[in-house]
Amino acid sequence: MKTEELIELALEVGFDHAGELNMGALDFRPEVRDMCSSGRCRAYGTRWSCPPAVGDLERSRRRTEKYHRGILVQTTGQMAHDFDSEGILQAEKRHKERFATLVRQIRYGYPDCLPMGTGACTLCRKCTYPDRPCRHPEEMFTSMEGYGLLVNDVAKASGLRYDYGPGTITYSAAVLID
Ligand code: SF4
């Protein structure tokens, strides 16, 4: 499929924004890992999807180096107010459902594609990390941040915004195709 067709597919799946991923913007940055380990999202060291389980930045680089194109997809939700946790959760849920659907469809044609999701994996009520293997390794996606990417920069370099204005929350994810 042409990249434009993949973008069209993402929009059909329901994403609010989609565009070609600027592969030159895949810069794996130690400061993003520092944000993970600072405990801001409280997922560090608690999931197979997150650092340190996903390996170091060199592993991120090696995992992505064979890819030459990809797409970036986004879900933007409306928040009733700044602390609208329900609105935030609903937008995240919608985004993750859309992303799982999109990856399933892309994998028909590109079984080796590399999905980069959003936030910590929330598939299981309690992650098996570190005692037992991941229960759903095919459906578990390491986030863009987990790879060490600064999503703000990647989105801008790919012609999309990171923030769609006051009263909105936006989640981003990417699929490296081939
Ligand atoms: S699928 Fe389950 S076991 Fe695997 S990373 Fe996600 S929460 Fe953990």
Q: Among 46, 124, 139, name the best residue to mutate to test ligand 1's pocket (greatest count of ligand atoms within 8 A of Cβ).
A: 124
Query: Greater confidence, 41 or 3?
Result: 3
Task: Output the ligand 1 site: residues, CB below 6 A.
Answer: 47-49, 121, 123-124, 127-129, 134-136, 140
Task: Output the pTM of the full model.
Answer: 0.96
- Going 78 to 44 to 112 to 159, the CA torsion angle's sign is positive
Residues 111-170 have pLDDT tens digits of: 999 999 999 999 999 999 999 999 999 999 999 999 999 999 999 999 999 999 999 999
Residues 7-31 have pLDDT tens digits of: 999 999 999 999 999 999 999 999 9
With b for 16 or more beta-carbon neighbours within 10 A and e for fewer, the 140-168 pattern comes to: bbbbbbbbbbbbeebbebbebeeebeeee
Nearest atom within ligand 1 for CA of residue 129: 8
Structure confidence at residue 41 (pLDDT): 86
- The DSSP annotation for 68-120 comes to --EEEEEEEEE-SSTT-HHHHHHHHHHHHHHHHHHHHHHHHH-TT-EEEBSSS
Nearest atom within ligand 1 for CA of residue 132: 3
In this structure, which residue's CA is closest to atom 3 in ligand 1?
A: 134
E strands present in the chain: 17-20, 70-78, 114-116, 168-176
User: Residue 60: is its pLDDT beyond 90?
Assistant: yes
Helices 3-13, 85-109: crossing angle, 10 deg rounding: 140
Rounded Cα–Cα distance for residues 72 and 13 (Å): 13
List the 114-116 sheet strands across, edge first: 17-20, 70-78, 168-176, 114-116
Residue pair 117/141 in contact by the 8 Å Cβ criterion: yes
Number of structural domains, the chain? 1
Structure confidence at residue 13 (pLDDT): 98
CA of 24 to the centre of ligand 1 (A): 30
Q: What percent of the chain has pLDDT over 90?
A: 96
Rounded Cα–Cα distance for residues 53 and 113 (Å): 21
Residue pair 116/176 in contact by the 8 Å Cβ criterion: yes
Nearest atom within ligand 1 for CA of residue 139: 1
Domain carrying residue 88: 3-176
H or E stretch at 12: helix 3-13
CA of 80 to the centre of ligand 1 (A): 31
CA of 126 to the centre of ligand 1 (A): 8
